[in-house]
């Protein structure tokens, strides 16, 4: 299966929007009728010298849309009564530049070089896009058919390829936030893609661990070895098929966390072949439905694609999806309080082997 048609247009403020259609009949010549201000300048990156990490400061995001009513949802198709971010009256999958981006290529002239001798500042050059999975406001990713999941995956592959070529981009990160408990500000089923101008802290830590493992194992890939061990042990495996395995990490930080990995080492989504792309959807949908079935209610979650970096260290990457929830019981959430937020030291309330068994037991 391949995408039937890819159509790119420009919104009234110059931002790019791309339709990914499963059929060839839909017209995509609708114009954006809104009168929008120009997109904001990019954020600042400020280095925290105490931990050697870059922090993005994007003050314009303070005014982003927050939980609008359904009839004013900016991710629904446009109607005669309301012009949304998508000019068309219907769509399959749509990707567009975020109106309130954390990173962009719109650099404001006269950026300062440093705040203090130890805190350099540079533009947050990159790109942020929104991915709408469906035009149906009242559904969820877990309710999509496998064919639509394949379309989403192909759209993410397309965007990863394009965004990886942008100047200054170090890593492309697709993700979905689901549920107001997570902090979602738009309830329409959607995800986002960040093209980072730096290698994020978790990826830096993973690369460092991969380098150490390769040095002591004669060049073996760390994630490949972890996946092989989990497939052999089976105790934490939630589901699998010919091309993918879904398992609870042995040292998971979150009450319920599952990683889905292809059996073949690939750096990113574009490198997946047709069989691997087709096989992903049924397994992922099964895991999502098990999440929702745990407590008989929609599970808040973060779904995060870990792809290889663009530059140095790319050969160490192993594509995988990390899915996790902050819900630890039907009436309890895991809050990132003192130890987690201040020290980055996680304490998990659920034994990973127990979490895997509970997920497997969901009908």
Burial state string for 69-86 with b = 16 or more CB within 10 A and e = fewer than 16: eeeebbbbbbeeeebbbb
What are the backbone angles phi and psi of residue 158, rounded to the nearest 5°? -60, -45
Asked if residues 67 and 185 have their Cβ atoms less than 8 Å apart, the reply is yes
Give the span between the Cα atoms of 1 and 154, in whole angstroms: 10
Looking at 260-299, list the stretches that DSSP marks H as alpha helix, in order from N- to C-terminal side.
274-294
190 tagged catalytic:
yes
Of 188, 190, 243, 320, which is the active-site residue?
190
Q: Where in the chain does DSSP place strands (E)?
A: 5-10, 16-21, 44-48, 53-57, 93-97, 114-116, 119-123, 127-132, 171-178, 190-196, 237-240, 244-247, 256-262, 301-306, 320-325, 327-329, 332-333
CA proximity to 334, closest of 252, 254, 278, 262: 254
- CB-based contacts of 227-235 (< 8 A; 24+ apart in sequence): 227/261, 227/263, 227/318, 235/353, 235/356
CA 317-322-323 angle, to 5 degrees, is 170
Question: Are β-strands 190-196 and 127-132 bridged in parallel, bridged antiparallel, or unpaired?
Answer: antiparallel
Catalytic residues: 190
């Amino acid at each position: 299966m391949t995408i039937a048609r890819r159509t790119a247009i420009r919104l009234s403020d110059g931002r790019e929007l791309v339709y990914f259609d499963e059929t060839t009949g839909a017209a995509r010549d609708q114009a954006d009728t809104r009168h929008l201000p120009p997109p904001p300048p990019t954020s600042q990156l400020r280095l925290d010298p105490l931990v050697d990490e870059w922090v993005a400061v994007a003050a314009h995001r303070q005014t982003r849309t927050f939980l609008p009513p359904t009839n004013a949802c900016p991710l629904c198709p446009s109607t005669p009564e309301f012009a949304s971010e998508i000019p068309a009256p219907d769509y399959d999958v749509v990707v567009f530049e975020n109106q309130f981006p954390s990173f962009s290529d719109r650099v404001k002239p006269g950026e300062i070089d440093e705040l203090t001798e130890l805190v350099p500042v540079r533009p947050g050059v990159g790109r942020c896009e929104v991915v709408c999975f469906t035009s149906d406001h009242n559904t969820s990713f877990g309710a999509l058919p496998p064919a639509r999941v394949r379309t989403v995956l192909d759209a993410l592959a397309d965007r990863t390829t394009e965004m990886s070529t942008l100047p200054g981009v170090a890593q492309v990160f697709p993700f979905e936030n689901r549920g107001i408990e997570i902090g979602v500000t738009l309830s329409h089923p959607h995800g986002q893609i960040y093209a980072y101008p730096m290698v994020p802290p978790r990826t830096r830590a993973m690369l460092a661990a991969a380098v150490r493992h390769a040095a002591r194992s004669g060049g073996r890939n760390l994630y490949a070895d972890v996946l092989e061990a989990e497939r052999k042990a089976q105790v934490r495996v939630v589901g699998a098929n010919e091309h993918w395995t879904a398992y609870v990490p042995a040292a998971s930080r979150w009450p319920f966390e599952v990683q889905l990995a292809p059996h073949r080492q690939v750096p990113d989504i574009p490198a997946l072949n047709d069989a691997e792309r087709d096989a992903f959807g049924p397994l992922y949908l099964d895991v999502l439905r098990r999440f929702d079935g745990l407590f008989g209610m929609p599970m808040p979650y973060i779904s995060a694609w870990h792809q290889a970096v663009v530059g140095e260290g790319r050969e160490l990457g192993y594509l995988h999806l990390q899915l996790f929830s902050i819900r630890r019981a039907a009436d309890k959430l895991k809050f990132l309080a003192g130890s987690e937020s201040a020290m980055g030291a996680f304490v998990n309330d659920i034994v990973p082997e127990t979490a895997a068994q509970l997920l497997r037991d969901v009908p």
